[in-house]
Amino acid sequence: MKQWYKVIDVARCHDCNNCFMADKDEFVGNDWPGYTYAQPRHGHRWVDILRRERGQYARNDVAYLPVPCQQCEEAPCIEASDGAISKRDDGIVLIDMEKAKGQKDLVQSCPYHAIWWNEEKDVPQKCIFCAHLLDDPSWTPCTTRCTHSCPTEAMATYLVEPEEMEQKIAAEKLQAYLPGLGTRPHTLYKNLYRYTLDFITAGVLVDGDCCEGATVTLTSKEGGIACDGAGSGLADGGDTAHLATRTTNFFGEFKFDGLEYGEYELEVDADGKKYAATVLVDDSKNLGFIEL
C-alpha cells in the first residue's frame, strides 16, 4: 500500500520559519475532531527547527534541521502508549486524544522530542502530517501545510509504494536523522551531513599571497567518509584511505566536508612547496592560513 513520506533538504533550509508559522496557522485555535485538539498558542513546536554552527570565523556556516514527527515505522511512542497511539495504513502516526488523556509520560517516549504536552487539555500532541487535509479531497495541494508554505522547496511530501521510496532513497542518498535509533522514520533528509558531520577548511599562502591551484589531499588512518558539494561519499574508509583531493580556489581556500570524528592526514602541494599535518576532527576545523 502507498505510504506518506516527507523529504527535507538541509541545504535548502534557511530558518525562515514559514513551516513553523503555517503549522501554527493551521492548528492554533482550530480543533480537528478525530485528529487532534487545537495546539496551544505558546510552547509547542510541532515543526522544531534545530540549529548548528560549524567552523570558526571567517570560515564557518550554519545548518538548520527541521524536526517534525518522524512518522516512524517502528515508533517507540506506539509501543509505550497502550493503544493510545497508532499508525494508519498509509504510514501516518496519530494520537487518540481520548485514550491519551493524562498520559504525560508519552512525551518522553519520543527519542526525537517531537511530542508536546497540552496542559489545558491534559493530552500529548504532535504533528499529524496534516492528515485532516490529506483526507479531504477538496484540499487540492494534497500536501502538508509546512511543505506547501516552504519558499525554498526544502520540504517535499510523497505518497508512494515503499519499494519506490527505497529507490528514491538510494538515488538521492537520503538519510534518517539519528539512524542508530532503528525507528525506520518516514521523514528523511537530503544533505544531512551539513548538520551531523564536520569539515576541514583553510587558506593556502605562498610568499604571502593567496595560492590558487594548489593540490590538497586528505587521507584517513581510521577510515571515514568525505563528501562532495552534494553530500555524496567520495570514498569509504579502510586503513589509510585516500578520501578526496581538492584544488584551492582564487582565494587559496579549500574545504573537505562530511567528515566523521577521527584523525586525518592533510597534505598540500603548491608547485613543489609542500605541507603535511595530522588534524583531529572532533568538530569542524578552520585551520586559518597555511603559509608556504
For 57-142, where are the E strands, in sequence order?
A: 59-67, 85-87, 93-95, 116-118, 123-125
C-alpha cell at position 23? 503549522
Determine which of 6-10, 175-179, 241-245, 287-291 has the lowest per-residue pLDDT on average.
241-245
Give the model confidence (pLDDT) of 196-207 as tens digits. Answer: 999 999 999 999
Give me the pLDDT at residue 240, please.
57
User: Which neighbouring-strand residues pair with 71?
Assistant: none
> From its phi and psi, is residue 272 left (phi > 0), alpha (psi between -120 and 50) or beta?
left
Q: Where are the domains of the chain?
A: 3-194, 198-291
In this prediction the pTM is 0.91
DSSP structural state of residue 249: -
Backbone angles phi, psi at 76, to 5 degrees: -60, -30
243 near 218, Cβ under 8 Å? Answer: yes
- For residue 207, the tally of other CB atoms under 10 A from its CB is 9
- Residue 149, pLDDT above cutoff 70: yes
Q: What CATH code is assigned to 3-194?
A: 3.30.70.20
Give me the pLDDT at residue 223, please.
54
Dihedral in degrees, nearest 10, Cα atoms 184, 190, 195, 197: 90
Q: Comparing C-alpha atoms, which of 132, 77, 74, 138 is closest to residue 103?
A: 77
* Confidence grade of residue 236 (pLDDT, cut at 50, 70, 90): very low
C-alpha cell at position 195? 548538520
Burial class (CB in 10 A: 0-12, 13-18, 19+), 268: buried
Pairing, β 198-206 against β 285-291: parallel
Give the model confidence (pLDDT) of 111-129 as tens digits. Answer: 999 999 999 999 999 999 9
Contacts of 44 (CB under 8 A, 6+ apart): 116, 118, 125
**pLDDT, greater one: 180 or 233:** 180
Q: 19 in helix, strand or coil?
A: helix
C-alpha cell at position 79? 509501543
- For residue 65, the tally of other CB atoms under 10 A from its CB is 19
244 near 220, Cβ under 8 Å? Answer: no
Give me the pLDDT at residue 232, please.
41
- Residue 109, pLDDT above cutoff 80: yes
- For residue 79, the tally of other CB atoms under 10 A from its CB is 10
Give the model confidence (pLDDT) of 255-287 as tens digits. Answer: 999 999 999 999 999 999 999 999 999 999 999
* Confidence grade of residue 68 (pLDDT, cut at 50, 70, 90): very high
* 198-291 homologous superfamily: Immunoglobulins (2.60.40.10)
Q: 72 in helix, strand or coil?
A: strand
